[in-house]
Structure 1
Amino acid sequence: MILALSRTELTLLLRNKTAASLALAMPLLIGALLMVNGPSGWTFIIVLQLVMMLGFTVYMTVTTSLVSRRQDLYLKRLRTGEASDQVVVAGLLVPTVVLGLVQAVVLMGMSKIAGAPLPERPLLLALAVVGGTAMCCAVGVATSGITSTPELAQITTAPFFFALFGGAIWALVTDTVDYRVLLVPGGQVAELIKAAWGGPTDNVGMALAALVAWVAIGSGLAIRYFRWEPRS
């Protein structure tokens, strides 16, 4: 059931030129530009590449696609079927998650070809990508509940998107230990990626705990605010 829903959702996603370009082209284009024109230091570039992927491909796409499906009553029709609410939501999220993970692999391959070293601790990189994806999915579902139309998603997604990007930049430019950065979305992801490429591991435990906390917060907000029918 989840696979069937996922195939249908992927087809609908690719038919929407705006959503498709946001999910497919934008992060890869930004990733390529960063490699050509970005600051020196591969850790900086890779963090920005992956955070952009999380922000555009996962968070914004989840929000926009769910609002679109709700507006055309597709969500309401799915809910009248045999699948449970959890299965329906999971089926709608799978294509975006897969796209995000594939883009992460492509971006890492592009960086490697351009001369980036391999991560010394690949498990931390995997945790950053998977945890960041889970966080952005959860918050994206929650954001869709307070977004009336797909066009309005450009506004409602802005606060979390800029917090995600700003937290990553803060973590990158902070040399001293500042635990506040781990409380901001993106800060934990950047700390884990820095540690994956040979950075200090003192904050890894707290970064993982903060990332899990954000997934829990996003899930709680999603349960509270997600809507199946169009907002009035």
Structure 2
Amino acid sequence: MRTDVLHAVRLARLDLTLIGRNTTVLVNVLLLPLLMAWFLTESVGDVEIAGVDGRLFVLTGMPGLIPGFAVFVNLVNSFTARREELVLKRLRGGQPSAAAVLGGSALGALALYLGQVALVAVWAGRSGGLVPANVPLLLLAAVLGVVLFCLLAAAFSGITPNAELAQVTVLPVLLVMLLGAPIAFPADTLPGVLGTVSHLLPATPLVEIMRTAFLGGDHVSGDGAALSMAGQWLTALPSFAVLLIWIAVAGVLARWLFRWEPRRG
């Protein structure tokens, strides 16, 4: 166990070093979601959404969308490229266990993601004087979000023929998240089937929990009413349930689809 943890930490450090040396990856996984956050906050202007300034509403929901880039896109590219270059096969044949190899990638993605969440928190503090109301709730949601999107990345890498096609593979997931996740609107405001679909997206529970943790109000049901610390945890329980269901589904898909060796044919 201790050896696996050490290997996971080493692999995470290697991943972060490689990301820092790759300008394209830096733009896609770090700068692009922050630019999107800026664009969306400027788009909503001074309107009030669910009792909150529109810019802060969007900004506090962005940490639920960022894993689509910092974790999902990043790791689909990484897993696919390493598989085709036989790196995954060599790693699995060496000392690290499968859990250590995947865990190292997840740990590196978590560090990158937490850095982005910290930037959003600083941004929210400077623009609206906002301090996260419930940091433990925020951190738990961040860890579970990284687990979910790491497993989804492992599954999608298995159906991606090569690294060149990775951008095509991830595009449908990103489009659904961008269009359906409640970044600039409460999910309950969508009519009928659209509202149901939005609630069931993997990014939605993460958006709702993050926004509740930042603002200290009920942003799961959508009314934004102020809550106590205990009330925030209770309100987030349905979103945690959806998140855990998605993690279970993603785990099954990853176990079924993930490949350690290059695809044949």
Deviations 1:140-194 (A, max 9, x none): 1111111112221111112222233333238834446965533222221222234
Aligned to 2:218: 199
Residue ranges of structure 1 left out of the alignment (5+ in a row)? none
Aligned to 1:26: 32
Q: Take 2:160 and 2:171, find their aligned partners in 1: how far apart are those partners?
A: 12
Q: Which moved more, 1:83-92 or 1:31-40?
A: 31-40
Q: Take 1:90 and 1:14, find their aligned partners in 2: how far apart are those partners?
A: 20
Deviations 1:90-135 (A, max 9, x none): 1233212210111111111112111152344444433332322221
Aligned to 1:108: 121
Going from structure 1 to structure 2, the CA distance change for 1:82 and 1:29 (only over 3 Å counts) comes to: same
Q: What amino acid is aligned across from residue 16 of structure 1 in structure 2?
A: N
Going from structure 1 to structure 2, the CA distance change for 1:201 and 1:50 (only over 3 Å counts) comes to: closer
Q: What amino acid is aligned across from residue 150 of structure 1 in structure 2?
A: A
Q: Take 1:34 and 1:161, find their aligned partners in 2: how far apart are those partners?
A: 16
1:29-108 equivalences in 2 (<5 Å) = 29-40=35-46, 41=54, 42-47=56-61, 49-108=62-121
Aligned pair count reads 231
Q: CA deviation at 1:78?
A: 1.0
Q: What amino acid is aligned across from residue 207 of structure 1 in structure 2?
A: S
Question: What secondary structure, in the 3-state scheme, does the structure 1 residue paired with 2:164 have?
Answer: coil
Q: CA deviation at 1:62?
A: 0.9
Q: What amino acid is aligned across from residue 156 of structure 2 in structure 1?
A: T
Going from structure 1 to structure 2, the CA distance change for 1:227 and 1:174 (only over 3 Å counts) comes to: closer
Q: What amino acid is aligned across from residue 27 of structure 2 in structure 1?
A: S
Q: Which moved more, 1:78-87 or 1:181-190?
A: 181-190
Q: In 2, are the aligned partners of 1:188 and 1:210 still within 8 Å (CA)?
A: yes
Q: Take 2:93 and 2:135, find their aligned partners in 1: how far apart are those partners?
A: 43
Q: In 2, are the aligned partners of 1:51 and 1:165 still within 8 Å (CA)?
A: no
Given the alignment of the two structures, is residue 216 of structure 1 paired with residue 248 of structure 2, yes or no?
A: yes
Aligned to 1:186: 203
Q: Which moved more, 1:60-69 or 1:29-38?
A: 29-38
Going from structure 1 to structure 2, the CA distance change for 1:115 and 1:171 (only over 3 Å counts) comes to: closer
Could you tell me the TM-score, scaled by structure 2's length? 0.77
Q: Take 1:117 and 1:170, find their aligned partners in 2: how far apart are those partners?
A: 18
Could you tell me the TM-score, scaled by structure 1's length? 0.87
Q: Which moved more, 1:104-113 or 1:21-30?
A: 21-30
Compare CA radii of gyration and give the structure with the larger one.
Answer: 2
Q: CA deviation at 1:38?
A: 4.2
Report the aligned-residue RMSD: 2.5
Going from structure 1 to structure 2, the CA distance change for 1:212 and 1:4 (only over 3 Å counts) comes to: same
Aligned to 2:131: 118
Runs (4+) off by over 6 Å: none
Going from structure 1 to structure 2, the CA distance change for 1:13 and 1:44 (only over 3 Å counts) comes to: closer
Residue ranges of structure 2 left out of the alignment (5+ in a row)? 1-6, 47-53, 222-234
Q: In 2, are the aligned partners of 1:66 and 1:141 still within 8 Å (CA)?
A: yes
Q: Take 2:106 and 2:118, find their aligned partners in 1: how far apart are those partners?
A: 19
Question: What secondary structure, in the 3-state scheme, does the structure 2 residue paired with 1:100 have?
Answer: helix
Given the alignment of the two structures, is residue 2 of structure 1 paired with residue 8 of structure 2, yes or no?
A: yes
Going from structure 1 to structure 2, the CA distance change for 1:231 and 1:15 (only over 3 Å counts) comes to: farther
Question: What secondary structure, in the 3-state scheme, does the structure 2 residue paired with 1:55 have?
Answer: helix
